[in-house]
Amino acid sequence: MAEYAYNLLVDIIRNHKLNIPLNMGLLNNILHELKTNIYRLKYMYLPSSELVKTREINAVRDASVKLAKILLDKEALRRYRPDPYQVALTRWCLRILYGLRNRIMRGDDNNPLYSIDIEGVEIVSVMKHPKADKLWLTKAEGVLPYDIVTNIENIRKGEVRAAAILPPVKIMGILSEAMYCSNPLPTEYKGKQVPYKLIYESEVKGKIIEIIRRG
């Protein structure tokens, strides 16, 4: 998943999809360093407990912070108003890279669920999709705020549900940044990683495998 996120970032940067001024020399240097460290990690074949102690894992996090400061600069985004989808995709890629260490720590059993974040979010608004009778537009808050399009008919404001933070997509023209993947949960899960036993595990795994194959 980190490789997929890296490749998406390269496409966003080199094809100027954010439509903001960029120092390409600086960015290419950061991308080169980032790619080198991702591939070193991939071929170290160390247990997760050792992998998270390496210089390379810290270098991936540091590179993601450098990229975030450049690509998600608030003043540049306000001034040039890039496509919200490209901004959301950039955020997702940087989140995947920044959080790589924490996800590696989840274990060595190659579970696809380890490759993304699944967090509890509180639903703060629900409205009908303007172009689809069986879809709803929701806003939710967890670690970050999210726009999520869903087909869950009984979803309600105030609920806390698990959300799989997936690459953003446009559904009937509306941006969606995650997928709800549980029944309503206790409020204590808001902003926290949700135990896998409480989510629609097979559905989420299917989405993750689809993304990895596409990447």
For residue range 15-69, what is the model confidence (pLDDT) as tens digits?
999 999 999 999 999 999 999 999 999 999 899 999 999 999 999 999 999 999 9
Name the residue ranges covered by the structural domains of the chain.
Answer: 2-108, 114-214
Task: Kindly report, residue by residue over 157-192, the tens digit of the pLDDT.
Answer: 999 999 999 999 999 899 999 999 999 999 999 999
Rounded Cα distance between 104 and 108, Å, is 8
What's the pTM?
0.94
What was the pLDDT predicted at 6?
97
What was the pLDDT predicted at 34?
98
Can you tell me whether residue 110 is helix, strand or coil?
A: coil
CATH number belonging to the domain at 114-214, selected among 3.10.310.10, 3.10.450.40, 2.40.50.140, 3.90.650.10 = 2.40.50.140
Q: Are strands 118-128 and 145-150 parallel, antiparallel or unpaired?
A: unpaired
CB burial of residue 33 (10 Å; 0-12, 13-18, 19+): middle
What was the pLDDT predicted at 214?
81
CATH number belonging to the domain at 2-108, selected among 1.20.1440.150, 1.10.1740.10, 3.20.20.70, 3.90.650.10 = 1.20.1440.150
